[in-house]
Copies of this chain bind each other. A is one copy, B any other.
């Protein structure tokens, strides 16, 4: 049987999602604990990678497993959460059709980048602190240039890692929240390093170092050397992965998911 697992993690202490040699990753930890609970080797495949230090308040992974006779989904999820370290949590587990794929069936992903404008000792692992407020209007003028079908070569980290760099951006804007700002971007896909490079360059606009028009020229240049540096990982959250209705119809809605969608 194939399953979708909906989960969240604090990425601070992990070398990102994807299993790799000689590094502790979320996927590796999840595979180990799922294999324990289900008493068989389990290999998950996520909707996409998150980089070192990046968080997810909603990530989805699929896996194949035979549910042991004395287990159901709810008990599996309960035991999984007892087995997992406190910085990873499962929220929903449900069967999907045999060919459902957490990566290729995802129709949209949403990321949020959290900026704090007042010192907050309790969010130092989950936001970027800025001691001067950036120019929100200028950043949103620039962010609007990302909307639609755009080539993100200028905001990609690794050359040649993708077949193409075109992403369809449905939403890209900064929103004021108490004590800070949140940038939310929703697109059909993202290329490696894209959100942190976009945010870093938008913050250059917010600081007055770049005009919104110059931001548009960087995007249009399709050249990786033009963008500002990447914003630090600790402010970035994968917040939502969306699937066609037939894959979510059976889902238990994750309740109490702390950062799900809008924080």
Contacts and interface: CB of A to CB of B under 8 A. Distances in A.
Given A87-B121, A119-B81, A258 B179 contact: yes
Nearest to A179: B256
A118 interface: yes
Contacts of A123: 258
Contacts of A129: 86
A121 B256 contact: no
Interface in A133-181: 178-179
B89 A119 contact: yes
Interface in A194-232: none
Contacts of A125: 125
B78 A90 contact: no
A121 B10 contact: yes
Q: Chain A at the B interface: mostly helix, strand, loop or mixed?
A: loop
A224 B122 CA distance: 33
Contact of A126 (B9, B55, B122): B122
Contact of A118 (B10, B119, B121, B255): B255
- Output the residue of A89, A122, A131 with the most chain B CB within 10 A: A122
Contacts of A78: 131
Contact of A88 (B84, B89, B91, B121): B121
B121 A8 contact: yes
A131 B82 contact: yes
A257 B122 CA distance: 10
Nearest to A81: B119
Contacts of A90: 119
Interface of A: 8-10, 55, 57, 78, 81-82, 84, 86-91, 117-126, 129, 131, 178-179, 255-259
28 contacts: A8-B120, A8-B121, A10-B124, A55-B121, A55-B122, A57-B122, A78-B131, A81-B131, A82-B131, A84-B119, A86-B119, A86-B121, A86-B124, A86-B129, A87-B121, A89-B119, A89-B120, A91-B119, A117-B256, A118-B255, A118-B257, A118-B258, A120-B256, A120-B258, A122-B126, A123-B258, A179-B256, A179-B258
Given A86-B129, A122-B258, 6 more contacts: A8-B121, A86-B124, A88-B121, A89-B120, A117-B256, A118-B255
